Amino acid sequence: MPKSMKVKVSAARTGVPPAHSGGWDAALDKALAQASKGLGTGKYRINVEYWADVEVTNPGQIFSYGVTLTRQD
């Protein structure tokens, strides 16, 4: 895994429930799956940063949920 990696999950993606927690969970699952391909066996400490692409209106809308994983050395 590179020092830092970003992944994004569309809010319109099939299987993402309307609750925000479902979007964050889907993004984290995707990020961890991608990171595991590059890390190999072992214990690692990572920082997890959650973010979203939003449209600010009344009411607002989240278009995609994202996670950035950063490996601590």
pLDDT tens readout for residues 42-62: 888 989 999 988 888 887 788
Does the pLDDT value for residue 70 go beyond 80?
yes
pLDDT band at 15 (very low <50, low <70, confident <90, very high): low
Phi-psi group of 20: left, alpha or beta (phi > 0 → left; psi -120 to 50 → alpha; rest → beta) = alpha
pLDDT of residue 20: 81
Q: Computed from CA positions of residues 19, 22, 23, 28, in that sequence, does the dihedral angle turn out positive or negative?
A: positive
Query: pTM score, two decimals?
Result: 0.77
Residues 6 or more apart whose CB falls under 8 angstroms from that of 38 comprise 1, 2
- Greater confidence (15 vs 35) lies with 35
Residue whose structure tokens are 């601590």: 72
Mean pLDDT in the chain?
Answer: 80
Are 66 and 7 in contact by the 8 Å Cβ rule? The answer is yes
